A and B are shown apart, each in its own frame.
Chain A
Amino acid sequence: MIHKFKAKDVNILLDVNSGGVHVIDDITYDMLDYVEPPFDAECPKDVKAKLSDRYSAEEIEETYKEIVELYNEKLLFSDDVYGDFAETKVESPIKAMCLHIAHDCNLRCKYCFASTGDFGTGRKLMPFSVGKQAIDFLLEKSVGRENLELDFFGGEPLMNWDVVKQIVEYARSKEEEYGKKFRFTITTNGMLLDDEKIDYINKEMSNVVLSIDGRKEVNDRMRVKVDGTGCYDRIVKNYKKLVEKRGDKEYYVRGTYTNYNLDFSEDVMHLYKQGFDQVSVEPVMEDESVEYAITEKDLDKIYAEYDKLVDKIANIKKNGGFINFFHFMIDLDQGPCVIKRLRGCGSGNEYVAITPDGDIYPCHQFVGHEEYKMGNLEEGTFNTDIKKEFAGCHVYSKPSCRDCWAKFYCSGGCNANNYIYNGDIHKAYELSCKIMRKRLECAILTKVCEQLDR
């Protein structure tokens, strides 16, 4: 399987099964519409006939031979040999967990996937006893895994700050006994960040996700306090302080774009100009009937906006600046192994979410979807059938992923998205797929241009 596309005067060719990326000229680009294995010693007559109006006989023959040479080196039209791995390397130990420290929030963001913080189940905070049980559960289930990840999430985790610190302390106290290394992250809306929390987060959290949508008017339209006013002024001040003191440690400012700000490259640039060089913006996923939802008719604008971002980011770098846009990060040489790429996030298999009541779900997006509740810590229940179902959910079990060129970068997308919109974790949500593919093209293009110094 190959994928070719044109962007910024460059023709790019991806060989899906090897991960090989090539820059090709126009004749190669055109010829690839007509050739595929098995190849002949010379260019077939019908192919020559299709190209002879534009190209010379000599060029046609040369190009054909180069394609065949790359095929023989297994860098083009390489075979898909991964289906077996999808079946054999199915189950894995749990090694990551999302703790819903608070099913409560001090904001009322209009697009909140958690019904403004309580997931529709009533506002509550996680007691330390549940957090402790969650750590014990993770330690027990992670046999064979040394690196464990714990994400503090919600609602807004800072509303239950003392429990966050108690859980960190407890987890750390178990590291030596169990031979584990915990890696903590926290996601916050920034409202409660003070010096004490900032210093603690910078010390203990390997990564921190700071929610902010971009320009003030964009942010304050959706991210509002209980009284309906915006939160931008307060959070931007807090985020700047945190990032200034963070040094080299990872962080992201993370925004959500909606139909109201399809010119989101302006928001990315705004955040960059505020001093944040690690930026992510993501499309809101919402029912099409909702006013701010993104729908198919918005796609052309969205694609154009990602193209603008490619240029804006290239300009920043050309002028000696630095910005890391989350979705344009790609490693063409190393990156994770193909086993990892088959499955992506590991939800429901390597990764679970825990609610304040100790309920276990495949990930934070599944909380509240009772049919996917996996068990409860207090009751000591854990449904391994659901775990097996998620383990078996990968790019080969998803019909539209099997034939998609992006499969080894996207890894099957988001299972929760698939379930919420298509009623089936194996059915990829096409709108997300389209945006994903565009972003990947931009990421590959950016990398290629860097290497070619264009």
Chain B
Amino acid sequence: MKHIQTINKANLSATAKKGGCGKCQASCQSACKTSCTVGNQKCANEDNR
């Protein structure tokens, strides 16, 4: 494409089908109030990688 460059082929809707196993980290590392993001976590389910 000339005007748009796609950086990633993320497809969040696909993760809904296999998701919700609960293996990933829950806490915010108990160190903070405002850094409760999941943007930096990894899926811990090896089957989903």
Binding site for B on A (CB under 8 A): 13, 17-25, 27-28, 59, 62-63, 66-67, 69-70, 74-75, 78-79, 81-82, 85, 89, 92-93, 95-96, 98, 113, 144-147, 149, 151, 153, 185, 187, 207, 209, 211, 252, 254, 280, 282-283, 285, 326-327, 329-341, 344-346, 350-351, 364-365, 408-411, 413-414, 416-417, 432, 435-436, 440, 443, 447-448, 451
B26 touches A252 (CB 8 A): no
When the two chains form their complex, are residues B31 and A187 in contact, meaning their CB atoms are under 8 A apart? yes
Residue of A nearest to B41 (CB): A336
Q: Is the CB of A432 within 8 A of B25?
A: no
The answer to whether A280 and B32 touch (CB under 8 A), given A66-B3, A332-B7, is: yes
Known contacts A82-B13, A209-B31, A335-B39; 11 further A-B pairs (Cβ under 8 A): A20-B8, A22-B4, A25-B3, A74-B11, A79-B13, A85-B16, A282-B32, A330-B39, A332-B8, A334-B42, A339-B20
Cβ contacts A to B, 9 pairs, < 8 Å = A21-B8, A96-B25, A151-B27, A185-B29, A209-B30, A336-B24, A344-B37, A345-B27, A345-B28
Q: B22: which A residues are within 8 A, CB to CB?
A: 92-93, 95, 144-145, 350
Indicate whether A443 sits within 8 Å of B39 (C-beta atoms), given known contacts A66-B1, A436-B34: yes
Judge whether A334 and B7 touch: CB under 8 Å.
Answer: no
- Docked pose: A344 CA to B36 CA in angstroms: 7
Contacts A63-B3, A144-B22, A414-B34; A331 near B27 (Cβ below 8 A): no
The verdict on A336 contacting B30 (CB below 8 Å), with A93-B22, A147-B23 known, is no
A137 to B7, CA, bound (A): 45
Residue of B nearest to A13 (CB): B4
**A443 closest partner in B (C-beta):** B39
A331–B42 CB distance below 8 A: yes
B16 nearest CB neighbor, chain A only: A338
In the assembled complex, the Cα of A22 lies from the Cα of B5 at a distance in Å of 5
CA separation between A416 and B30, bound complex, in Å? 12
Decide: B42 and A336 in contact? CB cutoff 8 A.
yes
User: Which residues in B have their C-beta under 8 angstroms from that of A207?
Assistant: 29
In angstroms, Cα B38 to Cα A364, docked, is: 19
Whole-angstrom distance between the Cβ of B45 and the nearest chain A Cβ? 8
Q: Could you tell me if A78 and B13 are in contact, using CB atoms closer than 8 angstroms? A: yes
Complex: how many Å from CA A448 to CA B9? 13
- Residue pair B9, A351 in contact (C-beta under 8 Å): no
Nearest chain-B residue to A31 (Cβ)?
B3
